Amino acid sequence: MNTDTKDLSLHPGGTELTKNIFRTAMDSTAAFRDKRVTLMTEKRRIPEEKPLKILDAGCGIGTSLAALKEEFGIEAFGIDSSSGSIEKAKELHPDISFAYCDASYLPYNEEYFDGILSECMLTLLPDPKSAVCEWKRVLKTGGFMIISGLCERDPGDLQYAFRPSLPYDAQTSVICKNGLIDKEALRSYVQYLGLVSVYEKDCREELISYMSETIMEYGSLEERIKKEQEATGSSVLDCSVKYDPKKISYVAMIFKKS
């Protein structure tokens, strides 16, 4: 495992947000309760059962997976469509299983994973619905799916748990528009697939910190994207989209497969 203390994650909130949302997902779904996980020295461990199998779809260089493996003792798997990122991930984290593949065509059997994580990746995919459907295929019944990414800012900028979906047509609605997640459309689509929304967190404060850090360290958003792509072969932002910081937020959503 890489021992570098620098948080190399590319998304708002870094690995601390990843671990907090992951903990909430475990507490909210059968994948956590049915494993009878006990609390040991401030870390959640699985004493006798096999560790949770977790897939990071769009894992980059494996930073989030390494943090989750260290904190929760998971069996970690990562996939990415960037061969450069996967090669770097294998070099940094030889104890994690990585695969170079398309997020919509996974090399795993049905109901293989206890949980699936996808951070800042859904909006970059050419067919995000196909990817979500494929993630549902490899997710165990009772397991959880975490999806996070940029989204439109909510009216009133309020933090809230799950709100009832608007009457979207799940089959025809677009779940990502202009580099942003359409939360209502995504909720409607996962419900159509047979998943249930169990938690949602607006992470605008983490986004503001991310943007401030970007200006301080890189000078501009465009320069950060360029540097991240040079270093890891990927970025969490779409280079073709001009983001207005006043109109966007960052959301983390948890779904359960019923």
CA angle 73, 76, 78 (to 5 degrees): 155
Phi and psi based region of residue 58 (left: phi greater than 0; alpha: psi -120 to 50; beta: remaining): left
Is the pLDDT at 75 greater than 90? The verdict is yes
Nearest Cα to 146, choosing from 117, 125, 120? 117
Tokens 């260089």 belong to 61
Give CA separation, 149 vs 46, 67, 162, 179, 201, in Å.
Answer: 29, 19, 16, 9, 11
The residue with greater pLDDT, 258 or 105, is 105
Highest mean pLDDT among 154-168, 173-187, 219-233: 173-187
Residue ranges per structural domain of the chain: 14-257
Q: What is the pLDDT of residue 219?
A: 85
- What is the pLDDT confidence band of residue 39, given thresholds at 50, 70 and 90? very low
Name residue 254's beta-bridge partners: 146, 199
Residues in contact with 54: Cβ distance below 8 Å, sequence separation at least 6, in sequence order: 65, 68, 74, 75, 76, 77, 113, 114, 115, 116, 117
Average pLDDT over residues 28-56: 61
3-class state of residue 130 by DSSP: helix
DSSP 45: E
Q: Pairing between strand 53-57 and 113-119?
A: parallel
Could you tell me the pLDDT band of residue 163, with boundaries at 50, 70 and 90? very low
The CATH homologous superfamily for domain 14-257 is Vaccinia Virus protein VP39 (3.40.50.150)
